[in-house]
Amino acid sequence: MRNLYFYAVFLLFLVLTSTVTWADSSGKITGKTESLSDGADIYKHICQSCHMSYGKGAEGAGARFPALAKNPKLQSGEYVASVVLNGMGTMPWFAVTLNDQQVANVVNYIRTHFDNHYTNAIKPDTVMMMRPHLTEEYE
């Protein structure tokens, strides 16, 4: 129940856009992700860019991309899914890029790899319930 309150509050802070064209980009080619279904593939082609291979994370100029390996915050699959859907801080949102099944697959992959051993998998239905409402402006 406390989790539900958490999400309700969290949803208030959502960042919702997908196709906003940032200035000096071509803003057009957003790439094909439909073909990625396996959690490992999604991790490799998207998450790994910042969280690095094996979920090692990385450290830059006084800031870091958090390691996912042995990360106690992964205890709640819903929490991880909410971060994937909505982003957090510097991390962009993936609610538009990934469908419910893809979000569930990558979350379950991360929570069962990189020295994480959480066996309670999240289901696509649960992800669907958490999905932010996308305004037409950004869809």
Partner 1 sequence: MPKPHHSLPFTRRQLLTRIGALAGSVALYQAMTSMGHASGTDFTRPPSLHGAKKGTKILVLGAGLAGMLSAYELRKAGYDVQILEFQNRSGGRNISLRAGDTVTELGGATQKVLFAQGNYFNPGPWRIPYHHQGLLYYCRQFGIELEPFIEVNHNAWLHSSNTFGGKSVRYREFSADFYGFTAELLAKSINQHKLDDIVSEDENHYLIEAMKSWGALTPDLSYTKGNISSWRRGFERPQGGGLEGAPVPSDVLSRKDIMKSGLWDWMAFNQRIDMQTTLFQPVGGMDQIGKGFARQVKDLITLNCKVTAISQNEQGVTVTYNDMAHGGAVRQMQADYCVCTIPLSILSQLDVQVEDAMKAAILAVPYASSVKIGLEFKRRFWEEDEQIYGGISFTDQPISQISYPSHGYFRKGPAVLLGGYLFGTPAYDYVGMPPQERLERALEQGSVIHLQYQKEFSNGVSFAWSRTPWVMGCCSMWTEEARRTHYKTLCSIDKRIVLAGEHASYVGCWQEGAILSALDAITRLHKRIVGAA
Q: Which of 83, 71, 77 has its CA nearest to residue 10? A: 83
- The count of other CB atoms within 10 Å of the CB of residue 35 is 8
64 binds partner 1 (CB under 8 A): yes
69 binds partner 1 (CB under 8 A): no
Footprint of partner 1 on 95-134 (CB under 8 A): 97
Q: For residue 40, what are the contacts with CB-CB under 8 A and spacing of at least 6?
A: 109, 113
- Work out which of 35, 49, 119, 120 binds partner 1, going by CB under 8 A: 49
Return the number of the residue (18 or 76) whose C-beta is nearest partner 1: 18
CA distance 93 to 111: 19
73 binds partner 1 (CB under 8 A): no
CA distance 63 to 84: 20
Q: Helix crossing, 2-12 with 77-86: angle to 10°?
A: 10
Return the number of the residue (47 or 122) whose C-beta is nearest partner 1: 47
DSSP state of 18: S
Q: Least separation, in Å, of the C-beta of 64 and partner 1?
A: 7
- Work out which of 6, 7, 11, 50 binds partner 1, going by CB under 8 A: 50
Name the residues that contact partner 1, by CB under 8 A. Answer: 13-17, 20, 22-33, 44-50, 52-53, 56, 58-65, 87, 89-93, 97, 135, 137-138
